[in-house]
């Protein structure tokens, strides 16, 4: 039985939610934070956002998170000029 990894990563602003930069534009990617080749990203965040990103080496966990019928509900919070806190769903 092999062990699997589950990582909760607070993705910083400016980092792409992938392990390699196919655009050849020298963007910061997850490979600068993680060396485990078995990790896969469960979800995505834009490079211009920051927040929780889940990485796992377990395909079942990844599918449970990313498969649309089983996807957890998401709440996105973004600052809006003139409003202290706005909740968009």
Choose the catalytic residue: 21, 22, 26, 46. Answer: 46
What 3-state class would DSSP assign to 43?
A: coil
28: Cβ–Cβ under 8 A, 6 or more apart, which residues? Answer: 14, 15, 16
22 labelled catalytic: no
What 3-state class would DSSP assign to 64?
A: helix
80: Cβ–Cβ under 8 A, 6 or more apart, which residues? Answer: 86
Task: Please report, to the nearest 10 degrees, the dihedral formed by the alpha carbons of residues 53, 21, 64, 71 taken in order.
Answer: 70
Catalytic residue annotation: 46
């Amino acid at each position: 039985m092999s062990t699997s990894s589950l990582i909760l990563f607070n993705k910083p602003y400016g980092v792409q939610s992938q392990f390699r930069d196919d655009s050849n534009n020298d963007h910061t990617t997850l490979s600068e934070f993680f060396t485990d080749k078995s990790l896969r990203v469960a979800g995505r965040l834009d490079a211009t956002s920051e927040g929780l990103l889940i990485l796992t080496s377990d395909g079942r966990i990844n599918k449970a998170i990313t498969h649309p019928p089983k996807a957890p509900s998401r709440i996105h919070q973004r600052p809006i000029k003139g409003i202290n806190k706005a909740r968009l769903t």
